């Protein structure tokens, strides 16, 4: 038995037959009951109509300071407020006035509060954002990120770009599309509703118990 975390909507059942010994959980993440509180200085800048973007490039990708500066520069040109997971190089760049961030943030508490996610496409961020119905602008750098970015784009749950080569105008256009495209946002919302009402974790537990019982009897 192999247990893996990936939502039905992005999985590869449409192109291959998933073996029976592969047990899928939509996401290993769990919803956090405690609400996150922004610092008073940032809260004072927020208006009821403001939309929020969460930027996280993961610990490894966020060490590229020039890339983080570029992303922040682009986002400073938008009308949105931005939450930034700054990563290990947090003290090597400053955030514009429409942003707030720290070296590391409690991601699963912040994701419910935002309107879209800009990410490198790591599996944890992808499945957590997907569980909460957030459109994603994915900027893959290595490993599983390329596959995640491609599936999100081709299945209509977000967009994929090359963060290094993408021009600032093009990046802003992608952000605006994800913030305002009703079809994409509805698709993400419906996927989140399915995941949050599914019992994939319980089904996996049953299969584990069945496997243990089988070999306990032999």
Tell me how far apart the alpha carbons of residues 160 and 130 are, in angstroms, rounded to a whole number: 15
Q: Is residue 179 part of a domain?
A: yes
The pTM of this model reads: 0.92
The domain containing residue 160 runs over which residues? Answer: 2-201
Q: Is residue 76 part of a domain?
A: yes
The total of structural domains in the chain comes to 1
Long-range contacts of 199-202 (CB under 8 A, 24+ apart): 200/24, 200/25, 200/26, 201/25
Q: Is residue 216 part of a domain?
A: no
The 3-state DSSP class for residue 34 equals coil
Q: Is residue 206 part of a domain?
A: no
Going by C-beta distance under 8 Å and a sequence separation of 6 or more, which residues neighbour residue 30? Answer: 108
- What H or E segment, with its residue span, contains residue 82? strand 81-85
Q: Is residue 162 part of a domain?
A: yes
CATH of the domain at 192: 3.40.50.2000
Two tokens, residue 164: 């290094």
- Per-residue pLDDT of the chain in tens (218 residues, 90 and over written 9): 899 999 999 999 899 999 988 999 998 887 766 788 999 999 999 999 999 999 999 999 999 999 999 999 999 999 999 999 999 999 999 999 999 999 999 999 999 999 999 999 999 999 999 999 999 999 999 999 999 999 999 999 999 999 999 999 999 999 999 999 999 999 999 999 999 898 888 888 988 898 898 888 76
Q: Is residue 213 part of a domain?
A: no
User: Do residues 172 and 77 lie in contact, with contact meaning Cβ atoms separated by under 8 Å?
Assistant: yes
Two tokens, residue 76: 């400073």
Q: Is residue 176 part of a domain?
A: yes
- What are the phi and psi torsion angles at 2 (to 5°)? -125, 125
Q: Is residue 214 part of a domain?
A: no
């Amino acid at each position: 038995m192999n247990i893996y975390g990936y939502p039905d909507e992005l999985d590869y059942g449409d192109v291959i037959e998933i073996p029976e010994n592969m047990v899928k959980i939509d996401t290993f993440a769990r919803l956090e009951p405690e609400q996150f509180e922004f610092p008073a200085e940032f809260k004072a800048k927020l208006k009821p109509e403001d939309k929020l973007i969460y930027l996280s490039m993961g610990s490894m990708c966020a060490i590229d300071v020039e890339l983080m500066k570029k992303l922040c520069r682009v986002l400073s040109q938008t009308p949105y407020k931005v939450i930034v997971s700054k990563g290990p190089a947090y003290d090597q760049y400053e955030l514009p006035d429409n942003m707030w961030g720290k070296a590391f943030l409690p991601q699963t508490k912040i994701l419910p509060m935002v309107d879209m996610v800009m990410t490198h496409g790591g599996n944890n961020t992808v499945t957590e954002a997907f569980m909460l119905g957030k459109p994603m602008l994915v900027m893959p750098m290595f490993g599983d990120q390329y596959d995640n970015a491609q599936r999100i784009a081709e299945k209509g749950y977000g967009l994929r770009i090359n963060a290094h080569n993408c021009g600032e105008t093009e990046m802003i256009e992608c952000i605006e599309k994800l913030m305002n495209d009703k079809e994409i946002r509805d698709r993400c919302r419906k996927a989140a509703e399915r995941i949050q009402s599914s019992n994939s974790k319980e089904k996996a537990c049953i299969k584990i118990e069945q496997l243990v019982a089988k070999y306990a009897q032999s």
